[in-house]
Amino acid sequence: MTMIRKRGLRRFVRCESGAELIEFALTLPLLLLIVLGIMEFGLMFREYEVVTNAAREGARIAILPAYGNADVIARVDDYLTTAGLNLALANVTPGVATPTSIGAVCISLVPVTVTYTHAVPFLSGIMTYFSSSIGTVTLSATSRMRTEASAGACPP
pLDDT confidence of residue 23: 87
Q: Which helix (H) or strand (E) holds 137?
A: strand 136-146
Please say if the pLDDT value at position 126 is more than 90: no
Decide: residue 114, CB within 10 A, 0-12 exposed, 13-18 middle, 19+ buried.
buried
Positive or negative, the CA dihedral 98, 99, 102, 107 is positive
For the question of whether the overall pTM of this predicted structure is more than 0.85, the answer is no
CA distances from 29 to 33, 39, 60, 129, 134 (A): 6, 15, 46, 7, 16
Residue 3, pLDDT above cutoff 60: no
Q: Is the pLDDT of residue 25 over 90?
A: no
**Residue-averaged pLDDT of the chain:** 83
**Which letter, b or e, does each residue of 10-20 get, where b requires 16 or more Cβ atoms within 10 Å of its Cβ?**
eeeeeeeeeee
Handedness of CA 127, 42, 113, 69 (dihedral sign): negative
pLDDT, tens only, 61-93: 999 888 889 999 999 999 999 999 999 999 999
- Give the pLDDT confidence of 35-69 residue by residue, as tens digits: 888 988 999 999 999 999 999 999 999 998 888 89
